[in-house]
Amino acid sequence: MRFLAKKTIMSLIVMHLLMATIFAQLPRHILSYLDQNFPTSTLPTHSQFSDYLTHFAPNGAIIDPWYVIADFSGDGSTDIAVMIIDSMKTKYIGINSDDGRLNHYELFPPHEINNIDTLYTCIRLKEPGTITQTMAGPDDTAPQVIDMVHPGIEVVFYEQARICVYWSENRYEKLWTSD
């Protein structure tokens, strides 16, 4: 399925009404980039996040738990983190605008999906500040403390773990912050 599928007039009217009232949308150049670089992938839908939106969305807010937009690298350009679905796996991709060019990075390894109708993972914006690693990190080392200068990305596995992904020295790093 393509990210930029052809739309009928009726679907355009419905989409315009929905977007005007509750939905944000990824910028068109990002949709084109995803189409070119991940042609077999799709974006999740709100219905796949029904449990998240019911139990975890702040104050019943309507949000898009599959992408966040911020300047993650601190270079003054807008960067995007997006979760896509490909072959029963969620993929977590960072798209940075470097000198006018888009580049993508794997933020976190692909995650198997047991039930395509309900996703138990999402990404959220992590504000700059101090983050601390839990002891449940992959190598069980002493907790790290990082002072994040720029916004980061929080990969959430509901009631299981949270991983903060942040930009450091020209690459994305990961730190387990909750289990």
What residue type is assigned to position 124 of the chain? R
Calculate the alpha carbon distances from 103 to 120, 129, 152, 154 in Å.
Answer: 27, 26, 17, 20
Which tokens go with 75? Answer: 């270079």
Sequence spans of domains, the chain: 9-178
Q: Which of 34-38, 106-110, 118-122, 124-128 has the lowest mean pLDDT?
A: 118-122
Among candidate residues 159, 131, 127, 155, the one with its CA nearest the CA of residue 145: 131
Record the pTM: 0.76
The whole-angstrom separation of Cα 65 and Cα 13 is 24
- Do residues 120 and 51 touch, judged by C-beta distance below 8 A? yes
Q: pLDDT above 70 covers what percent of the chain?
A: 74
Strand partners of residue 89: 86, 112
Cα–Cα distance between 65 and 51 in angstroms, integer?
12
- What average pLDDT score do residues 13-23 get? 34
